[in-house]
Amino acid sequence: MSYLVVGISHRSADISVLERAALDPDTATKLALAVQRTPAVAESAVLATCNRTEVYANVDRFHAGMDEVTAILAEITGVPLLDLAEHLYVHFEEGAVAHLFEVAVGLDSMVVGESQILGQVKESLRVGQDLETIGTDLNALFQHALRVGKRARTETGIDSAGRSVVSAGLDAVAGPIGGLTGRRALVVGAGSMASLAAQTLAAQGAAHVVVANRNLERAEVLAERVGGTAIPLAAVPAVLAESDVVVSCTGARGIVLTEEMVRTASAGRPFGVLDVALPRDVSPEAGRLPGVTLVTLADLAGTAGGTDSDIAEVRRIVGEETLAFEATRRAASVTPTVVALRTMASGLVETELARLDRRLPDLDDSQREEVARTIRRVVDKVLHTPTVRVKELAADPGGPKYAEALRELFALDPAAVDAVTNPVRKTGGEPG
């Protein structure tokens, strides 16, 4: 089985395309389940953020896996495959490993080094585990990616500024309106991005924070956390006119703040709007209104959260960890061969002991046990060195060839090796 990544992000497509491929949590779940049920895929996970939609899979065939994943991605997002294909990127095996590690450390983020992505990777792992679409192989990959992300943040200053898409966006909005201190703020939405926005606004001295959401109870929970006020979504137009800055980050599929709403609220005064939703919440035309500063995800691409030396060091860590992970995989890949060899040897021993019983029926139990121990000890000693060495050699690039040589030398049955690798073959249906 091999790792495969198929995705679309801010690096491969502009916002107009990304918002068409954006997934809410329920749709991301549907995608993970649909991918995992296809014949070429054994495991799957979906990483869906404000600037990426990625499918991670464990596949037995590259082309079949890629075709199945891309077809399902097009079907579930509703973006025609021909339109989607030109913006998709594909990573396989070591490239897939390195890509997830780069994502986890924030090198692939809009705001390089941003702090949210590690939590999003962790959440993707949790969801996949709950759905049982993630098995042993993807679990190992995601767990290692989380460790790489933590290491990068511990050993470098990649996120020393605590940068995120929200904080970078608020910095961009703050200048034209004279800063955030003392400003009246409105946050539309109550999810993780909205929570970060509300807390950032409060920390930067906003005079008051109002939280609007369709679910008023969720808005109240967030508002209480920052000492603000909660309102229903229907009350946004009225409160908008009383605000100086608004952050919108809902999961709506259509425009939440229209040009007319922003024009009426701003009335030509300095007015900041940060739209970090995907699909976008704010009409693009609002950014052309007098006094209005509209910052979107597209404006934040490439923002740095660390120094050049930090970024270079993080790249070194990613390279080092990718090599280490691949070495561990190669070493583990020979285990089925070693198990099959020892199983074959054990079978031969038992066959010979049975033959000895027939040839020498007069041996007493003590003698019979001593002979059995001696034969097993000899076989273990003969096999010890080659099995230990093949594991050591397998960790190096090109190492799997030693396992192939072992299988050839001992004429191991491929079916026996495969039975160790895949004790239960997937036959389709519900994951389990």
Catalytic residues: 50
**155: amino acid identity, one letter:** E
Cα 143 → chain centroid: 10
Q: Are 330 and 400 in contact (CB under 8 A)?
A: yes
Contacts of 164 (CB under 8 A, 6+ apart): 111, 114, 115, 116, 196
Instruction: Classify the phi-psi angles of 272: left when phi > 0, otherwise alpha if psi is within -120 to 50, otherwise beta.
Output: beta
77 closest CA partner among 147, 138, 7, 134: 7
Phi, psi of 108 (to 5 degrees): -100, 5
State the residue for tokens 């608004």.
246
For residue 73, give both structure tokens.
């991605």
- Do 64 and 39 form a contact (C-beta atoms < 8 A)? yes
Paired tokens of 290: 């007098």
Tokens representing 373 are 């121990």
CB 344 within 8 A of CB 412: yes
**How many CA atoms lie less than 13 Å away from 277 in the CB half-sphere?**
28
User: Which backbone phi and psi does 213 adopt, to 5 degrees?
Assistant: -160, 155
Pairing of strands 111-112, 184-188: unpaired
Largest distance between two CA atoms of the chain:
108
Which of 286, 266, 117, 280 lies closest to 188, judged by CA? Answer: 280
Listed in sequence order, the DSSP H helices in 285-398 are 297-300, 308-333, 335-359, 365-394
Token code pair at residue 79: 């973006």
Sheet holding 41-49, edge to edge: 41-49, 52-59, 2-9, 89-92
Residue pointed to by tokens 């007493």? 364
> Rg for the chain (alpha carbons), in Å?
29
Quote the DSSP letter at residue 286.
Answer: G
